[in-house]
Every structure is written in C-alpha cells, then in structure tokens.
Amino acid sequence: MIYFIHVFYGLAMAYFGLISPGMLNMTVLKTRIDVGKIESVKFALGAAFIIFFQAGIALFFAEFFINNPKVIAFLKIAGAFVFFILAIFFFFQSRKKMGAKSKSSKGNYFFKGLAMSSVNMLAIPFYLATSIYLGSVNKIIIEFPYILYFISGAAIGSFLLFYTYLFFAKIISNKIAFIAANINIILSLLFLSLGIFTLIKLIGQ
C-alpha cells in the first residue's frame, strides 16, 4: 500500500502541478494539430521518459541540491534562457505562411520529445521542491526504493497530462480555429511569459 501511495503522489504532482499550459504540453497539442495523434503520442512518451530521470535526479540528489542552492539557481537561469530561445523560434515559425494542415511526419517525434524535455531546466527544481514538501509532511519517504515508485508515478502522470492535451487537441483544431491557426504565436508568447516570470522570480530572491 505504501508503494501505491508513492506512485499516487508522484502521479498527482506531475499531472495537477503542470496542468496549466507549459512548454511540453503545448508542444504536444501543436504536434497533434500539425502532424497527428500517433506522432504526438510518441512525443509524449519521449518527454515522459526524460521526466522519469529528471524526477529521479531531484530525489536521489535531494541532499546535494539542498546544500548547493547555487546549482538550483543555475538551472532556473538556464531554464529562463531556454524559454527565450523557444519564444524566438516559435515567433519566426508563426511568421511563415501556413498552407493546408500538414501531415508530414519528418523526424522521430519520440526523440523530439526526449530532446525538448531534456532542455526543460525547471523540471528538477519542481520535483525537488514538491518531494521535499511531501517528505516534510510525512506523505512520502525520500529513500530507495520509495523514490523509484514516486518518480514512476511522476512519469505516468506526465504522460497522462500530455495525453489529455493531445486528446482535446482534436476538439480545439475542429472547433477553435483561432488557436489551431495561431498555435506558433501562442507558444511564442507563452515561452516569453515563462522566461520573464522566471527572471522576475530570480531577481526577487
């Protein structure tokens, strides 16, 4: 039962903690609209696979991160930088003339999910903070093998969240033409906002 509880908390933190529009779930939505369901599922699997290891790094090295706050600060700065780069990328993508809905599946979307999830530098601080909080209120045990169950739950929860986005993407593409037609500029503004918000938080610390 205690193992199930750790899976549940990992799943819940990943799903509800990241349910608002973010880098990965919005990219899943874009992939579903532009390419199709199969490739967006591959992307989601790749992204969730990396999240398993990111959550694992956060929990296995929790004591190290607590004793070295400069490492967390560096990850947050790197995360802000990545957000700005992605904002510029999707801005230029939005400037391109869009023809009919593309069904091209160039490239391996599983590896694209791996790559984009890998540059999400804020994942480790997120799982570090949530796991420390849950540990402090005696909801989880930050020790092996409990860590393994928690991060497995985090990976499952992340995939379920991505699947929620790609499931509703079809409805969005069919009924909300504005979002489907302007997904690149929406992503650009999202990443710009995330970058600015991250910098403001860093400056305010």
Provide the residue ranges of all domains of the chain, joining segments of one domain with +: 2-204
SS3 assignment for the chain: CHHHHHHHHHHHHHHHHCCCCCHHHHHHHHHHHHCCHHHHHHHHHHHHHHHHHHHHHHHHCHHHHHHCHHHHHHHHHHHHHHHHHHHHHHHHHHHCCCCCCCCCCCCCHHHHHHHHHHCCCCHHHHHHHHHHHHHHCCCCCCCCCHHHHHHHHHHHHHHHHHHHHHHHHHHHHHHCHHHHHCHHHHHHHHHHHHHHHHHHHHHHC
Q: What is the pLDDT of residue 162?
A: 92
Q: What is the pLDDT of residue 7?
A: 94
Q: What is the pLDDT of residue 205?
A: 61
> Which residues of the chain fall short of a pLDDT of 50?
98-104
Residue 138 falls in which region: left (phi positive, over 0), alpha (psi -120 to 50) or beta:
left
Contact 132, 63 (CB under 8 A): no
Which residues, in sequence order, are CB contacts of 65 under 8 Å at separation 6+?
58, 71, 72, 124, 128
Q: Which burial class, exposed, middle or buried, applies to 136 when counting CB atoms under 10 A from its CB (0-12, 13-18, 19+)?
A: exposed
End-to-end, the C-alpha distance of the chain in Å comes to 39
Q: What is the pLDDT of residue 80?
A: 74
Q: What is the pLDDT of residue 101?
A: 45
Instruction: Retrieve residue 164's tokens.
Output: 């929620």
In the Cβ-directed half-sphere of 29, how many Cα atoms lie within 13 Å? 26
Instruction: Retrieve residue 51's tokens.
Output: 């999240």
Q: What is the pLDDT of residue 103?
A: 47
Q: Tokens 């608002």 label which residue?
A: 20
